[in-house]
Amino acid sequence: MDAGLTLRPIAYIHTEFSSKFGIPRQSGLADTKAEIVFTPEYRNPDACKGMEGYSHLWLLWEFTEAVQKEWSPTVRPPRLGGNQRVGVFATRSPFRPNPIGLSCVELEKIELREGLGIVLHVKGADLLDGTPIYDIKPYLPYVDSYPMARGGFSERVREYRLEVEIPEQWIAIVPEEKQAVLKQILSQDPRPAYQKDPERVYGMEYAGMEIKFLVREQVLTVCEIKKHF
């Protein structure tokens, strides 16, 4: 029997997420910044010739933290409360037979950097720092966009947001250019779906900072921010 494809990373993405907790659950939900650096074999600038004409890109990548011994035909999407099971192929869960992710990101800039070749600056990525990229394709509005498409169960929760409160003493620690993005990330509710304890303090890492918060009645309040040195 054919063993199938053997995939090799063509690039790695560098983001400000050092752990998976807190990463936006879909691309484009927060204006996160990231850089894509090609592996030495694929640093020929000709490989990206013409890319500057596109505003968005599709990334195919690996869920490196989604470790499982056996695949399950059903999963529990966080936005359904973590209690309702649906088919894995009806979700974007990382726990799949092949742990392949798909993200649409905005291409902000193409840089030719000494020693690294072409570096892509993108916005809206939902990937862990160091995630391997297996392919990059241009987003084509005339075929990739279907405004009238149905969104399944995701339509019920697409407007889900938490109100975010960050006291002045903590927001002052966050670099100004990252404050709005941090609020976007927190508004998506980083907590695991099955954890709703209003007294529990949660922690996540972003941009070299540890952010601690609690959630009560749809309001997320930051209670501490520490910088990692």
CATH of domain 11-64+99-144: 2.40.30.70
Q: CA separation (Å) from 55 to 4, 115, 116, 133, 226? A: 33, 26, 22, 19, 35
Global model pTM greater than 0.85:
yes
Rounded mean pLDDT, 67-94: 83
CATH 2.40.30.70 maps onto the chain at: 11-64+99-144
- Quick one: which of 128, 129, 123 has its CA closest to 178? 123
Burial of 190 (0-12, 13-18, 19+ CB in 10 A): buried
Does CATH number 3.30.1490.190 belong to domain 154-227?
no
Q: 17's torsion region: left (phi>0), alpha (psi -120 to 50) or beta?
A: beta
94: left (phi over 0), alpha (psi -120 to 50) or beta: alpha
pLDDT digits (tens, 9 = 90+) for 119-173: 999 999 999 999 999 999 999 999 999 999 998 887 766 667 899 999 999 999 9
Residue 71 pLDDT = 85
Report yes or no: 214 and 198 within 8 Å, Cβ to Cβ.
yes
Give CATH 3.30.2310.20 domain extents, the chain: 154-227
Please give the share of the chain, as a percent, with pLDDT higher than 90. Answer: 71
Which value, in Å, is the radius of gyration of the alpha carbons in the chain?
A: 19
Q: Is 139 in a helix, a strand, or coil?
A: coil
Residue 79 has pLDDT above 80, yes or no: no
Degrees, nearest 5: CA angle 188-190-191: 125
Residue 17's pLDDT band (cuts 50, 70, 90): very high
In sequence order, the 6+-apart residues with CB closer than 8 A to the CB of 177 are none
Average pLDDT over residues 193-218: 91
Q: Which of 25-34, 80-89, 105-114, 180-189 has the lowest mean pLDDT?
A: 80-89
Q: With 0-12 CB in 10 A as exposed, 13-18 as middle and 19+ as buried, what is 73?
A: exposed
Q: Give the residue among 76, 55, 24 at the shortest CA–CA distance from 190.
A: 24
Q: What is the mean pLDDT of the chain?
A: 91
Residue 58 has pLDDT above 70, yes or no: yes
Report d(CA 192, CA 189) in Å as an integer.
8
